Amino acid sequence: MPAMDCEPARKVIHVDMDAFFASVEQRDDPALRGRPVAVGYPAARGVLAAASYEARRFGVRSALPSVTALRRCPELIFVKPRFDVYRAVSRQVHGIFADYTSLIQPLSLDEAYLDVTENLRGLPTAWATAREIRARILEETGLTASAGVSYNKFLAKLASGHRKPNGQFAVTPGMGAAWVEALPVARFHGVGPVTARKMQALGIETGADLRARSMAFLQQHFGKAAGWYYAIARGEDDRPVDPDRTRKSSGSETTFDRDLAEAAEIEAGVLRMADEVWAWCEGARAFGRTVTVKVKFADFQQVTRSRSYPSAVTRHAQLRQASLDLIRSVFPPEKGIRLVGVTVSTFEAPAHGYAGLPLFGSAVGSAEAQASVLAGAS
């Protein structure tokens, strides 16, 4: 690995809570423990936010329509989401992270990247750091988390899913490239189901298959995403852990487990992001005038739609409605949607003190353009 000769490898941890919303509900209601629990509404067009591991044995998982979930698991217990509680846990967990590093990049309420190359506790290894962080999360919140330890974000995130739930896995510089070669490309960040099918049609099923293709070949078939695929096939990812401290916007985004074409499912994803952003707005007492919805399609083409109001959006329902109106402007989607995000920006001068610090979530960045079309893997 010549590129690493002069610089010591970074130490990156990706921490992700196990069955997050469902585990919080089981923690707070002993009657739910050991039982198949879904967080969401059993409504006709509802989709599940989360499923306990007991429910997953029946094939019940996040983003599944409630009706399908009930068919698969008639004993499924539905619990309404309590975002205020999830937000509080998220803040608690973030506080634990902050004892180990200031380089924390939250990705959503339940996960974050930490750069612990230089950790504040002087722990000898990233592995020991991850163990201690997970132990403290359990002790202080009563919840389990899994962790991936590696020398970049791509590998750390792949690794955190490898020993779920309540496990951790390390991918060392010596094993990274070979480890990636053995995995199916469908597991890679940036390869959604549509891309996975396209790759399969080209004879690319594993990391090794992907690695065997030239940059020119990848560019011809995948355009701007080629560079990303070329790099990850070798276990390379030089994106820094970005702590995003000075924010001008608050946003959350989510990559779906599979590319979506159903309006109801896409809208549910957008509303979930609107709810996360709203929780931040309330917590930080920061209300903005501009709402932006970002959409990334299966082929990584990205579109944003914004709307600005004369005064700040100070009601939850208003943010939800604005987000829905904006996502509907891309309906019917001409191709599958892999990611959606909601951002609030153009903050108004605060009425009573705005801390300006993120509690959770990842800034998507403020979008000036009404509709800008970008491309590229992120």
Active site residues: 111
Give min distance, CB of 21 to ligand TTP, in A. 4
Phi, psi dihedrals of residue 343, rounded to the nearest 5°: -130, 140
Q: Which is nearer to ligand TTP, 20 or 360 (CB)?
A: 20
Give min distance, CB of 164 to ligand TTP, in A. 5
Give min distance, CB of 281 to Mg ion, in A. 21
Q: Which of 12, 17, 104, 277 binds Mg ion (CB under 5 A)?
A: 17
259 binds Mg ion (CB under 5 A): no
111 binds Mg ion (CB under 5 A): yes
The one of ligand TTP, Mg ion, none whose footprint includes residue 164, by CB under 5 to 8 A per kind, is ligand TTP
20 binds Mg ion (CB under 5 A): yes
113 binds Mg ion (CB under 5 A): no
Please confirm whether the linkage preceding 74 is cis (ω < 30° from 0).
Answer: no
Q: Which is nearer to ligand TTP, 108 or 119 (CB)?
A: 108
Contact positions toward ligand TTP, by CB under 6 A? 16-21, 49-50, 62-63, 110-111, 164-165, 272
Please confirm whether the linkage preceding 165 is cis (ω < 30° from 0).
Answer: yes
The one of ligand TTP, Mg ion, none whose footprint includes residue 21, by CB under 5 to 8 A per kind, is ligand TTP
Task: Measure the CA–CA gap between 361 and 111, rounded to whole angstroms.
Answer: 9
54 binds Mg ion (CB under 5 A): no
First-to-final CA distance of the chain? 24
Q: Which is nearer to Mg ion, 20 or 188 (CB)?
A: 20
Give min distance, CB of 267 to ligand TTP, in A. 12
Give min distance, CB of 15 to ligand TTP, in A. 10
The secondary structure of 265-334 as a DSSP string is HHHHHHHHHHHHHHHHHHHHT--EEEEEEEEEETT-EEEEEEEE-SS----HHHHHHHHHHHHHTTPSPS
Q: Which is nearer to ligand TTP, 140 or 257 (CB)?
A: 257
Give min distance, CB of 61 to ligand TTP, in A. 8
Strand partners, 339: 255, 296
Nearest residue to 170 via CA among 6, 14, 8: 14
In sequence order, what are the residues at sequence separation of 6 or more whose Cβ sits closer than 8 angstroms to the Cβ of residue 242?
Answer: 105
Task: Measure the CA–CA gap between 152 and 108, rounded to whole angstroms.
Answer: 18
Q: Which is nearer to ligand TTP, 88 or 123 (CB)?
A: 88
Region binding Mg ion by CB under 5 A among candidate stretches 96-104, 105-113, 267-275, 324-332: 105-113
Nearest residue to 168 via CA among 158, 178, 182: 158
Q: Which residue has the tokens 């999830």?
A: 86
Q: Which is nearer to ligand TTP, 84 or 118 (CB)?
A: 84
By CB under 5 A, name the binding residues for Mg ion.
16-17, 20, 110-111
